[in-house]
Amino acid sequence: MSGDGMSGDGMSGDGMSGADLQAAGDVREVAVPATTLWRSPDAPRTVDEPAVRDLPDPAAWSAGLDRELRLGLHGRTDSQLLLGEPVEVLDERDGWSHVAAPWQRSSHGDRGYPGWVPTSHLAEPVPVTDGPTAHVMARSTRGDGPELSLGTALWVDDADDREVRVLLPGDRRAVLARTDLRLADQREQPAYDADAVLATARSFLGLQYLWGGTSTWGVDCSGLVHLAWRSHGVLLPRDAVDQAERVQPVPLDDVRPGDLYFFARPDERVYHVGFVTRPVAEDGTRWMLHAPESGSPYVEDAPLAPHRRETLVSAGRVVPSGEVGQVGQGMERNGEE
């Protein structure tokens, strides 16, 4: 999906305009189910080999990381990119590509989240600029191709009542179950429904926290928010601090399910985000669905712990507009925990 994403019944976003990407020159798309965005080609450790091999296995990689190894990802990774995401290639060396990811807007780079990925994880874009699209809405799906994460956006080649044939980067195709997808051109793609987004986020309950995770195989706090909204056609920035700048402020006592809570320590930037799941109780209890790294590092829906109550600084509501970016009717991280 080159340009600024899909157009028409496809996807759009405001990370980089189509003209910007055309001017950028070398635009490619992610050709594997998920690729990790590394700080440098030297950042991966031996234990990270499943994530950087030519045909990565993100499930095996995540499963092989204990708590200490997961903490060791700090300063090494920043995000993940899903199959079909466009990237601008800024530089290449020794089998690695330095890229900017326009669908993941970030204060770290005005062309999209920057980082390094194995060059073998990229391919020529699908040669389509308009037409029907589909979003993976199951936690994962596998037809006759690779297993794909929730939130993956695809160009549709053909469809019937049971199967959808999709186009993949690198001149490939795959067949997926219709029940695992929502088709934008059939108005099956939900449009900015906070309850539906919250239901999607709930599907990750129990998933272990993964620093930089933005996929079915692991999420961090802002990755969960980004992925849930993106699955419903809305591109929020990638990092909590940037997400806080792109939402409509809501008084903390007026929150409703689907809104977002933001957290910051005194005189510091926002470092954590989560979904409001209930109105504020009469006794002041606040419930949040989020991906914590501290404590029990699994996606949970629970009352705010004392340290969360002490660092809660604001709340916001996603009101999709051109400013937020749409991956809808048709197709960013900073010390978080």
- Any idea where the domains of the chain sit in the sequence? 18-123, 133-183, 194-317
Does residue 14 carry a pLDDT above 90? Answer: no
Does residue 314 carry a pLDDT above 60? Answer: yes
Choice among 18-27, 32-41, 111-120, 300-309 with the minimum mean pLDDT: 18-27
Choice among 53-67, 188-202, 278-292 with the minimum mean pLDDT: 188-202
Q: Which pLDDT does position 5 carry in this prediction?
A: 42
The residues near 246 (Cβ < 8 Å, ≥ 6 apart) are 236, 237, 323, 324
Task: Report the C-alpha gap between 23 and 9 in whole angstroms.
Answer: 24
Q: Which pLDDT does position 7 carry in this prediction?
A: 37
- Name the strand (E) or helix (H) holding 134: strand 133-136
Q: 30 versus 144: which is more confidently predicted?
A: 30
| Residue 332 pLDDT class (50, 70, 90 cuts) | very low
Q: Which pLDDT does position 19 carry in this prediction?
A: 43
Question: Do 133-183 and 18-123 have the same topology in CATH?
Answer: yes
Q: Which pLDDT does position 129 carry in this prediction?
A: 81
| Residue 175 pLDDT class (50, 70, 90 cuts) | very high
The mean of the pLDDT values for the chain is 88
**Domain boundaries 194-317, corresponding CATH code:** 3.90.1720.10
Does residue 62 carry a pLDDT above 90? Answer: yes
Alpha-carbon distances, residue 233 vs 83, 184, 196, 256, 266 (angstroms): 16, 9, 11, 21, 34
CATH topology of domain 133-183: SH3 type barrels. (2.30.30)
The residues near 170 (Cβ < 8 Å, ≥ 6 apart) are 31, 123, 124
Task: Report the C-alpha gap between 67 and 302 in whole angstroms.
Answer: 21
- Return the closest-CA partner of residue 13 out of 332, 315, 336: 332
Q: Which pLDDT does position 39 carry in this prediction?
A: 98
Q: What is the CA radius of gyration of the chain?
A: 19
Average pLDDT, stretch 116-137? 94
Q: Which pLDDT does position 305 carry in this prediction?
A: 95
Task: Report the C-alpha gap between 323 and 68 in whole angstroms.
Answer: 38
CATH topology of domain 18-123: SH3 type barrels. (2.30.30)
- Return the closest-CA partner of residue 93 out of 40, 49, 146: 40
